[in-house]
Amino acid sequence: PAAQQRAFLCCISYKNRKRWELKGSFKDLKNMTDLLLQQFGFSPDSLLILADKEPYPPPTRKNIEEGFKWLVKDIQSGASLVFYYSGHGRRQQSFRGDERDGFDEAICPLDFQANGVIFDNYINANIVRPLTTGVTLHAFIDCCYSGTILDLSHVYNANTRKWEDNRALTDEFKGTSGGRAICISACQDNQLAADTSRLSGDENDTNGAMTWSFIKAIKDNRKITYSGILNSMQE
């Protein structure tokens, strides 16, 4: 291939846990996998999938952290990387002094109750900072409190159509090593995401609202811009 393609997909339903179970994650996984394979020409062997469903390896904290390493290992200029997450998110007060809103955001592995969550600082250090010149990462995060889950240096304000500064308040550098990182999240850091059947119109077809609306935007217009995607998703 002309450019190296690699995608890490992590979808968690937390099945059989009444308080935590999500109904849309498995459909999100199928839809996102189909999009990458059929619309963007990814090959099946360029995808690493973790899910709490056979035949996939479980999305434990250890496996997710190993997945981050796999995603950026030996990347070369021209590489196109994707990280997709569908599951629960959390936020808690930050004691590092680097967060502008005073909170760290995190994703919740399958075993988060026993082994903890994965914070935005860790995600940034492992899949954002390693991006070298000519490498692009697209992250799509369908969970609560996900606005700055990659700790990127700027956030796009769709209302003002301007970029807002999100750099760390400390001296800690959270940018790339010359590459480019773009993240589309389900909501702002203080908001909740949702899975729903209302968008599909079929009560038996539950999807993550962000994932469903993102895929629809892409399929409706293959030449759509980033701002066009956001506008379509809002609609």
Give me the residues paired with residue 163 across strands.
Answer: 156
Give me the residues paired with residue 9 across strands.
Answer: 49, 84
- Please give the positions annotated as active site: 88, 144
70: CB partners within 8 A, 6+ apart: 6, 8, 48
Alpha carbon distance 80, 49 (integer Å)? 17
Alpha carbon distance 47, 49 (integer Å)? 6
Closest CA relative to residue 132, chosen from 176, 175, 172, 174: 176
Which residue's structure tokens are 């990182």? 181
Cis previous bond, 55, omega within 30: yes
Collapsed DSSP state (helix, strand, coil) of residue 40 = coil
Closest CA relative to residue 175, chosen from 124, 220, 136: 124
